[in-house]
Structure 1
Amino acid sequence: MEMKNMYFEQLPPARIAYVRQTGPYGPSNIRAMEELKQWANQKQLLNEDAVLIGIPQDNPATTLPEHCRYDACIVIPDDFDFDTESGFDIHRGTFPGGSYLIFTIPHTAEGIQKAWNEMIPQLQAEGYRMDHKPVIERYRPQLLDQHLCELCVPVTSF
């Protein structure tokens, strides 16, 4: 993974709607994201400004696969009227924001897996410290159009 694809960003706190998937990470995460996108499309939230976030809540090295939680999220406007009668299992929450190192990577299963495998040792080798928050996957239309996505790594100082 190339460090030149990395930059710092202060992500703002945001309201989110999300679908939670519990179980082994993989194809079920994609299903959760698809369910979220169906709901978001119905609510007219999928537009050129949409920001989708995947949040793996647990480390599969220390959490049994059947207990791993993945949240497929979309940032929602502050004035969005959250309707619970949509027919979808949608939750609402808050993304806390914070300081992140952003890596732009290929939006493929192989690209994401390679980044996950190489990112932490590379950060440590460069002297960065991770914050105790989940690494997130960020999906924005302008990057998805180029078959790219972002891994956002929380850092405490740099």
Structure 2
Amino acid sequence: MENATRLDRYKRLLSMLDDKFKEEITVQDIENTAFYSYRNINRIFLSLHQETIGQYQKRLRLEKAAEYLKFSNQSIADIAYDVGYSEISSFSKAFKKHFRCSPSIFRNSYDYRQNLTKKIVLDEEFDEDYKPEYTVEELPDLKIMYLTYYGDYDNIKAIKDIWEQLVIYALKKKVLHDKTPFIGEILDDEEITDVLKCRYNAAVVLDDDKDVDEEGLFRTKIIKKQKYAKFIHKGSHESCDETYAKIYTYWLTEMPMELADKPTLEFYINDESNTPEEELLTEIYIPVE
């Protein structure tokens, strides 16, 4: 078996685990996808991710539950069922072991911190009537080629290295032109996911008629059509946190729409190499129902 074939099977396995983590994935499903015995693929997975396949599935479920507790008004019982737990007692036990607090304490703690942050920001920096400006837009299906970064979102150097690899590969594949959109897909919430396991996809949008063979860790997929609230950040990428703080403090606490369970997208409008830092523009797309 060639290494490329092995890598393709690993990528298919990872895609299945990410897409279907709320569902019951059997040992047979994993073996049929990876073409390895469960024991052997689990050893490989553990060496790459520092956790077993079972631990990975469980962590994704609990982190998704934490997102629902943080951003929705769903009952704890409904959240438990939604992420794949048939009994709330099993969910509560697993949640407490992972986050070291019960689901109800986690939700109450976040509400308290959200209100405290809002009060501090209002008192110290902003007008009480301030609201971030946004528009609501629906993006069509986006075919992307991407490379995944794992780690702390604040590690700008490491993320830039991922982008450099992606651009070199995209040039090699001749998929870049003057109007090619460059986007970041933010898959995890660093308040919930361990920073070393946070995922960020550096991506270029492919033309509809362009097909690219996947090589190595470079992958392609379709981001399905979705409605978003679009915000504009002006300034360095490092300062994006300030805009996100405004969004989540002022807008999401009173928003007229529900958050959709999809990743946030960032569109990078200008070239960092020839644009002054203070003039850089990032379009932030937050998915909504």
Work out which of the residue numbers 261, 264, 269 in structure 2 matches 1:132: 261
Q: Structure 2 CA distance, aligned partners of 1:42 and 1:2?
A: 44
1:11 aligns with 2:139: yes
Q: Higher strand proportion, which one?
A: 1
Q: Structure 1 CA distance, aligned partners of 2:259 and 2:192?
A: 17
Give how far 1:13 is off.
0.9
Any conservation in 2 of the 1:50–1:141 contact (CA below 8 Å)? Answer: no
1:70 aligns with 2:200: yes
1:90 aligns with 2:223: no
What's the C-alpha RMSD, in Å, of the aligned pairs?
2.4
Which structure has the bigger radius of gyration?
2
1:22 aligns with 2:150: yes
Q: Which amino acid aligns with 1:36?
A: L
1:44 — aligned with what?
174
Q: Structure 2 CA distance, aligned partners of 1:67 and 1:153?
A: 21
Q: Give the ranges of 4+ consecutive aligned residues of structure 1 lying more than 3 Å apart after TM superposition.
A: none
Q: Structure 2 CA distance, aligned partners of 1:41 and 1:115?
A: 32
- What secondary structure is seen at the aligned counterpart in 2 of 1:130? coil
1:153 aligns with 2:282: no
| Runs of at least 5 residues in structure 2 that lack an aligned partner in the other structure | 1-129
Residues 38-71 of structure 1: CA deviation (Å, up to 9, x unaligned): 2222333332211111012111111111111111
Any conservation in 1 of the 2:230–2:286 contact (CA below 8 Å)? Answer: yes
Q: 1:95 to 1:148 in 2, by over 3 A?
A: same
Any conservation in 2 of the 1:50–1:140 contact (CA below 8 Å)? Answer: no
Residues 98-153 of structure 1: CA deviation (Å, up to 9, x unaligned): 001111111413431111222112222442321111111112349x9652111111
| Runs of at least 5 residues in structure 1 that lack an aligned partner in the other structure | none
Q: Higher helix proportion, which one?
A: 2
Equivalent pairs counted in the alignment come to: 153
Q: Structure 2 CA distance, aligned partners of 1:93 and 1:36?
A: 15
Identity among equivalent positions (%) equals 25
Q: Which amino acid aligns with 2:150?
A: T
Any conservation in 2 of the 1:60–1:68 contact (CA below 8 Å)? Answer: yes
* Greater mean deviation of Cα atoms: 37-46 or 131-140: 37-46
Q: Which has the higher contact order (CA 8 A, sep 6+)?
A: 1
* TM-score scaled by length of structure 1: 0.83
